[in-house]
Amino acid sequence: MIYKAKPSYKKLKDSENYNHLGSPVKHYKLINDEEINVTDLPKELEKHLIKVETKKKGDK
């Protein structure tokens, strides 16, 4: 699934975000309003991320 950060993610302490979970690259992308691909979303981050709908080939 593809996710983007909600404003609440950017307010999290380093002990609560993807930096703490061992993925500084994902954290950096989220802070910079980029999308990330997540296969196993940590429960503690669910309310701070929003799922991005991706268009399939041929969709308008």
Q: Is residue 37 part of a domain?
A: yes
Amino acid at 2: I
Tell me the CB-side half-sphere exposure of residue 7, using CA atoms within 13 A. 0
Q: Is residue 56 part of a domain?
A: no
- Per-residue pLDDT for the chain (60 aa), expressed as one digit of tens each? 999 999 999 999 999 999 988 899 999 999 999 999 999 999 999 999 999 987 666 665
Q: Is residue 34 part of a domain?
A: yes
Q: Is residue 57 part of a domain?
A: no
Count up the domains in the chain and report the number.
Answer: 1
Residue 27, pLDDT score = 96
Q: Is residue 33 part of a domain?
A: yes
Residue 11, pLDDT score = 96
Q: Which residues, 6 or more positions from 10, have their beta carbon under 8 angstroms from its beta carbon?
A: 30, 31
Domain of 14? 2-51
Residue 50, pLDDT score = 97
Closest by Cα among 42, 30, 32 to 3: 30
